[in-house]
Amino acid sequence: MDLILWPTDLVKILRSYHASFGVYPNLLRPRGFNDFLQQSKLFRRKRRYTQCADKVAVRDYVASVIGPQYLNQLYWVGTDLREAPRARLPQSFVIKSNQGSGTILIVKDATVVDWNAADLETRRWLRIDHSVHFAEWQYRWIKPRLLIERLLTTSDGSVPLDYKFFCFHGQVELVQVDFDRFTGHSRALFDRHFSRLPVRYQFPPYGGALGKPACFEQLVQLAERLAGDEPFVRVDFYDVEGPVFGEMTYHPGAGLEHFDPPEWDLRLGALLRGRRRWPGSKHQAVGGG
């Protein structure tokens, strides 16, 4: 089936990339990070990518590589929210879809949940297919499901930061941290030593300071173990009194997000070509923890 749909995937990649950047991607000899991601969609199609893109199925992969102790607590999996065991759920939890991005309902008090509205919303989630618009083929083969997990919070009750580790050939080179995703979304990028990098990636740069997590080195090691020998994969973790696995993705932003300055797209592309050092002049840290 993938072979039959490959030509339409190619058209989707060309159209979406041109709409975002005003040019077409170099799919035969990619130099930039985003070009590599588009090439990967077409030519790197492994069964494991589908497993790792599935927020339920990836749990087996994580447990087998680094252990189940790093998984968030799972309360329920199904396809119809009306069948969830409401009476056995805790007061707070999150509802997600296994194949979506941003498809999440945060429930802080189960006694005031509008379950009818939640049911309608989650039914919409199950119809989402990222392969339709951006040719992320692995989502085509995921059976859409819903899951209910523990709501992760910090000691003061706030939502924990999500640390996204960009792994190139099994080594963390870039760390992305997002802030206020549902209000005034901003972002900060760091190197593998948690020194702030002078680059904007799609969203405005975060203006505040951020201290290095106490378990940062452990997070890096766990991300690299999960990445294995893949040319590129992003591995996400939360720090909630220790590492908690988030998700894995092979094409962040569908390979359509912009770097400023644009040379950073080429810098990361060089890492994908196997170069272990940043090309050009040494980057300058701008803050960090």
Domain residue limits at 109: 2-272
In this structure, is residue 13 part of a structural domain? Answer: yes
One digit per residue, the tens of pLDDT, for the chain of length 289 reads 677 889 999 999 999 999 999 999 999 999 999 999 999 999 999 999 999 999 999 999 999 999 999 999 999 999 999 999 999 999 999 999 999 888 999 999 999 999 999 999 999 999 988 888 899 999 999 999 999 999 999 888 788 889 999 999 999 999 999 887 767 788 999 999 999 999 999 988 888 889 999 999 999 999 999 999 999 999 999 999 899 999 999 999 999 999 999 999 999 999 998 755 554 434 444 433 3
**What is the domain count for the chain?**
1
CA–CA dist 122, 100 (Å, integer) = 11
CA–CA dist 30, 36 (Å, integer) = 6
What local confidence, expressed as pLDDT, does residue 207 receive?
Answer: 84
If we measure between CA atoms, which residue out of 17, 8, 4 comes closest to residue 132? 8
In this structure, is residue 101 part of a structural domain? Answer: yes
Place of tokens 């968030």: 72
If we measure between CA atoms, which residue out of 47, 44, 45, 48 comes closest to residue 64? 48
In this structure, is residue 286 part of a structural domain? Answer: no
Structure token pair of residue 40: 């990967």
Q: Using DSSP, how many helices (H) and how many strands (E) does the chain show?
A: 8, 11
Instruction: Determine contact, residues 172/223, Cβ cutoff 8 Å.
Output: yes
CA–CA dist 85, 89 (Å, integer) = 7
Segment 126-156, tens digit of pLDDT: 998 888 889 999 999 999 999 999 999 988 8
Amino acid at the residue 69 = Q
In this structure, is residue 285 part of a structural domain? Answer: no
Three-state SS sequence of 192-252: CCCEECCCEECECECCCCCCCCCCHHHHHHHHHHHHCCCCEEEEEEEECCCEEEEEEECCH
Q: pTM score, two decimals? A: 0.91
Segment 151-201, tens digit of pLDDT: 999 888 788 889 999 999 999 999 999 887 767 788 999 999 999 999 999
Instruction: Determine contact, residues 219/165, Cβ cutoff 8 Å.
Output: yes
Cβ-Cβ contacts under 8 Å for 208 (sequence gap 6 or more): 179
Instruction: Determine contact, residues 253/159, Cβ cutoff 8 Å.
Output: no
In this structure, is residue 89 part of a structural domain? Answer: yes
In this structure, is residue 282 part of a structural domain? Answer: no
Beta bridge partners of 288: 195
Instruction: Determine contact, residues 219/172, Cβ cutoff 8 Å.
Output: no
Instruction: Determine contact, residues 231/173, Cβ cutoff 8 Å.
Output: no
Cβ-Cβ contacts under 8 Å for 288 (sequence gap 6 or more): 190, 194, 195, 196, 210, 212
In this structure, is residue 284 part of a structural domain? Answer: no
**How is the beta sheet containing 243-249 ordered, strand by strand?**
186-190, 171-179, 162-168, 232-239, 243-249
In this structure, is residue 261 part of a structural domain? Answer: yes
